[in-house]
Structure formats: C-alpha cells, structure tokens
C-alpha cells in the first residue's frame, strides 16, 4: 500500500503572500532561507519548504508572478486606449504612489526595487521578470508620449524618449521615496508638478 505523504501544516497560498512580502522588503540576495522558513506560517521545516517550493529561486519566481498579477497592475492605465495619453501617465503615477504607501505590505515597488534584488551577474536571471516589467512600463510611457505627438496634443518636435524618461525616472524614484518614509500626500503633490513637463510640450492651439 502506498504511504500517504505528510499533509502540509500551512496554507500554501498564504505562504506565497508572506514570502512575497519578505522578498519585497529585502530583495532576493539579501533574503535568507532562514528568514523565509521562519516567516512562512508559524515557521516551516526545511524538508517541508523544499517539498512545497523546490528552492528559494523557484519560490521567488512564484512571488514575482503574484506581484506582477496584483500590485504591479497599477501601470495598466498606460495601455488603456480610452484614456487620453496624458491622463494615462498621470493615472499610472498616482496609482503607483498610492500603492507604494499603502499599509499591509512593504513600502515601495517590488518591480522598481528589483534592480537591487540580485545585483550580482550570477543572479541577474532570477529577477529577469522584474526587469522585463520595467522595460514594458518604459515602453508604455513612451507609447503614451508618442500618442500625444501623433494626436497633435504635443508639439511635433517633442523628444519622445526624453519626455518619457522624465516620467519613467520619477516613477522609479517613488520606490526610494516610499522606503525613506516620504508620505503619499507629498508624492501626490509632486506628481502634479512633474506633469508640467507634459504641459510644457503642448502643441499651440489651432
């Protein structure tokens, strides 16, 4: 008769959420197996950890996918064709700032902080999904700026890459501000200021 495996004494879905918060707070390289095992449920033994997740890297990949499917969706507005391009960028910045300052999870953005998660070349592949997410967001911002030029909202001589980089750099900088304790109200006010970069490139009224 086959021997039944020992039942898990933790909720796997909850464990992914808890592990995601640990990685989000500390990054991939700085998170130890001891931290993960202690932080999942009421603690999980090494054999159970490996049986459930396979490895630290595999668990990080699961946590990354969960983050991208939930918190990272604050950038969805960039691809919403029903929004004016300026509104799409502003909505993304305000939604991200609000999310990064929320209670109940670490401050900042796991995607924005991803470049610090695995700084060594050996682990760069681990955070590749986060890198691709930043690249996708960068492309989405540039597409909004290009849409502004194509629709005549921005001057034809607008430097699309330069203007897009202004918003992209601000978005990435929100993570550092959130980690340093800068409040949401101040970030939100700063977004009003940074959107003046768009307004400075507006096409003259016809």
Model confidence pLDDT, tens digit, residues 154-178:
999 999 999 999 999 999 999 999 9
Q: What is the mean pLDDT of residues 91-106?
A: 97
Whether 60 and 126 have beta carbons less than 8 Å apart is answered as yes
Contacts 24+ apart (CB under 8 A), 88-92: 88/144, 89/141, 89/144, 89/145, 89/167, 89/195, 89/198, 90/191, 90/195, 92/137, 92/140, 92/141, 92/171
Picking from 79, 68, 100, 92, the residue whose alpha carbon sits closest to that of residue 177 is: 100
Higher-confidence position of 100 and 203 = 100
pLDDT of residue 3: 45
pLDDT of residue 5: 47
pLDDT tens, 177-206? 999 999 999 999 999 999 999 999 998 876
Q: Is 67 helix (H, G, I), strand (E, B) or coil?
A: helix
pLDDT of residue 10: 67
Q: What is the mean pLDDT of residues 110-121?
A: 75
Picking from 184, 192, 78, the residue whose alpha carbon sits closest to that of residue 136 is: 78
- Residue 99: enclosing H or E segment and its boundaries? helix 85-101
Q: What is the mean pLDDT of residues 86-115?
A: 95
- Residue 97: enclosing H or E segment and its boundaries? helix 85-101
Q: At what angle do helices 128-150 and 85-101 cross, to 10 degrees?
A: 150
What is the pTM (predicted TM-score) of this model? 0.90
Could you give the C-alpha distances from 150 to 153, 156, 166, in angstroms and in order? 8, 8, 19
Whether 110 and 178 have beta carbons less than 8 Å apart is answered as no
pLDDT of residue 204: 81
Q: What is the mean pLDDT of residues 112-137?
A: 82
**Whether pLDDT at 95 is above 60:** yes
Q: Under 8 Å CB-to-CB from 27, ≥6 apart: which residues?
A: 113, 116, 117, 118
pLDDT of residue 12: 87
Give the chain's length: 206
pLDDT of residue 6: 46
Q: What is the mean pLDDT of residues 69-75?
A: 97
pLDDT tens, 5-62? 444 556 889 999 999 999 999 999 889 999 999 998 777 888 888 888 999 999 999 9
pLDDT of residue 154: 98
């Amino acid at each position: 008769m086959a021997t039944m495996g020992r039942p898990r004494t933790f909720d796997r879905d909850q464990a992914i959420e808890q592990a995601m918060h640990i990685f989000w707070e500390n990054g991939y390289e700085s998170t130890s197996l001891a931290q993960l095992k202690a932080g999942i449920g009421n603690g999980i033994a090494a054999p159970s950890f490996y049986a459930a997740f396979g490895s630290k890297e595999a668990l990080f990949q699961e946590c990354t996918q969960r983050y991208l499917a939930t918190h990272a969706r604050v950038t969805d507005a960039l691809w919403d064709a029903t929004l004016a391009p300026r509104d799409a960028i502003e909505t993304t910045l305000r939604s991200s700032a609000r999310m990064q300052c929320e209670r109940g999870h670490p401050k900042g953005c796991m995607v924005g902080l991803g470049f610090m998660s695995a700084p060594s070349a050996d682990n760069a592949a681990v955070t590749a999904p986060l890198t691709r997410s930043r690249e996708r967001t960068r492309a989405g911002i540039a597409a909004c700026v290009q849409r502004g030029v194509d629709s005549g909202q921005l001057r034809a001589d607008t430097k699309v890459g330069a203007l897009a980089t202004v918003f992209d750099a601000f978005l990435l900088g929100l993570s550092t501000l959130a980690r340093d304790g800068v409040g949401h109200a101040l970030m939100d006010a700063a977004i009003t200021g940074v959107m003046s970069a768009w307004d400075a490139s507006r096409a003259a009224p016809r």
